[in-house]
Structure 1
Amino acid sequence: MAYSPKALQYASIGAAEQVRLTDRVSYLYLEYAQIVQGRTGVLALQADESGNTRGEVQIPVGSIAVVMLGPGTSITAAAAASLAAAGAVVMFNVLKRVAESLWVKAVDAAADGVVVMVTSAPQTEQGFRVQLHQARGKDVIDFDGISLMRSIPINAHDEKDSSPP
């Protein structure tokens, strides 16, 4: 799908002019909607009982921190990619098998990017499990049954040469 000239103009906005995280809307919660990538951005569509679109809302992806998808909501890969590129976090509830499949696809599509997935794990003290992929400088450690995120110092030496001195 080709983007409209207006959408391409927004893509060229410099980092200094973009919306800062502190200025973003905290979250957007959607139910019974289809989230799609349109020509000018991400849209939330609602259909009536016969399947006809009855409502369409443009989602301001650059100014939302978290998008929570409730029951009856679906999202296209293109819309999810736009949200991720804008720095928004997408949260949803899926079956374990679907989550495993999403993890594999996200890692394959990540290239040099970071992937973080938090999934339900009722057998743990916290009730969830954190998975990281290419999270340079971060690690998940177990501290008496509690998962904690650890920052790992990155040396300038590590950046230039990974061999031992």
Structure 2
Amino acid sequence: MKLLNLIKTYRYFLLIILFDVVIAFFHPGTGYTIFKYTAGNFAEMLSILPPIFLLLGLLDVWVPRETIIRYLGEGSGLKGIVLSIILGAAAAGPLYGAFPVAAVMAKKGTKYSNIIIFLCSWSTLKIPMFLFEMSALGIKFALTRWLVNIPGILAIAYIIDRLIGAENKAEFYRRQMANP
């Protein structure tokens, strides 16, 4: 039973490894290249996720739930939106690092739309990317992209928040609370 649960938990990872092995069997050169990229991506993930989980552990212990609810929860209003944008834009690392952070935010009582805003900001409004765009493409381009993306992010968050519905949101929060 434990083996089946372990296989179910890691089924996608195991499928990728199986896929790599099958390709390597039929096309050794291509299989080797694919396996090399798979291993490189896995190593990159292992170098990024531990610091994120360490910071999440500290966030979980140091920041009280009441503080998160006050600044990012249901009644947070504009300050919750602005804070979600700032947290997402200031974050470092690839997008897959945002999802554990979003899970902790949900556990702490962050409003659903603020989680969506945080995730969208992480993916599009990164400050290092903004600085690179300013130097490579000019301040006008960088500011225009930000000014176009922010309303887009807010629209996406609003639409998703309305489409998901209260029952699905409640299930989302139940699942987050159930995970240790």
Q: TM-score under structure 1 normalisation?
A: 0.27
Q: Please state which structure has a larger fraction of its residues in helix.
A: 2
More RCO (CA 8 Å, sep 6+): 2
Q: Please state which structure has a larger fraction of its residues in strand.
A: 1
